[in-house]
Structure 1
Amino acid sequence: MRRFFVIIAGLCVSLAPTALMAQERAAELGQQEYLVACAGCHGESAMGDGPLADLLNISTPNLTELSQANDGSFPYEAILMTIDGRDGVRAHGSQMPIWGERFQSSAASQRGETAEMVARGRILSLVYYLQSIQN
């Protein structure tokens, strides 16, 4: 039995760097997604200073301070739901694009993935990226 736990512990240790690399890769992809989908309003720096920010009737949030505004904890689920937008809760006091619908409708079927899987992957990569740029 002890040997079993040693094997499991060894697997966990050996897979930990792989999981970290996967999250880092997701953040890199999220940065690319961010520059295409979000930087117009939130700015390349994510500080709310995008070229379209002045056209909005609300103040565009600084996305590098999400953790700071949440007592130092990144609000993972809230950010995920805000970006997705399909839950009916509208962010920013006005119509932010419903990225879940946009990502889902633009998804090309690849390797048996559903449009929903592609949309969720794109949203998750954005969340990982936003988490990685917190002050």
Structure 2
Amino acid sequence: MKRLVLMAALAATPALAQDADIGRAHYHAHCATCHGLEGRGDGPMAGVLLIKPVNLTELSAQNGGTFPLERVVKRIDGRDPLVSHGSPMPVYGDYFEGSFDVPMKAPTGQPVLTSQPVVDLVAYLREIQRLE
């Protein structure tokens, strides 16, 4: 029942406010140190990490041309933590965790709830995907 109410709310929700410019600012403040200014996994900390940061510009290409929204959201907001980070990802996880009250529609049509900073960051990550 809860799922049906959530799906109805998502369908009735006007276009989700996503701001890639705010997402870019979040990225530069919280992610670029490891993933690099352009998201290629070549940030200044990359050389000292045991597990190299992912090239974030290739997320769609490595997922059959579809942006892996649910996986990315859950990695950022800490619901799918990465052992390589040694803590919730990112280490600024408390900033991105917040309340999960903003719905995003996954490619399957299912809603994924997260926080507004994650919505904006994902909007930016979608913009930097390489087209192949």
Larger proportion of helix: 1
Partner of 1:83: 76
Partners of 1:45 and 1:65 lie apart in 2 by 11
Per-residue CA deviations over 1:36-64 (Å, capped at 9, x if unaligned) read 00000000010000001111110211000
SS at 1:33 equivalent:
helix
Matched length: 104
Could you tell me the TM-score, scaled by structure 1's length?
A: 0.66
Larger proportion of strand: 2
Partner of 1:34: 27
Partner of 1:49: 42
Partners of 2:87 and 2:41 lie apart in 1 by 14
Are 1:64 and 2:57 counterparts?
A: yes
Q: Percent identity?
A: 39
Instruction: Please list, as runs of the form range in 1=range in 2, the aligned pairs for 1:103-114 lying within 5 A after superposition.
Output: 103=95
Partners of 1:61 and 1:30 lie apart in 2 by 18
Contact between 2:82 and 2:88, CA under 8 Å: does it hold in 1? Answer: no
Higher-Rg structure is 1
The residue type equivalent to 2:58 in the other structure is: E
Alpha-carbon distance, 1:104 to partner: 6.0
Alpha-carbon distance, 1:98 to partner: 3.6
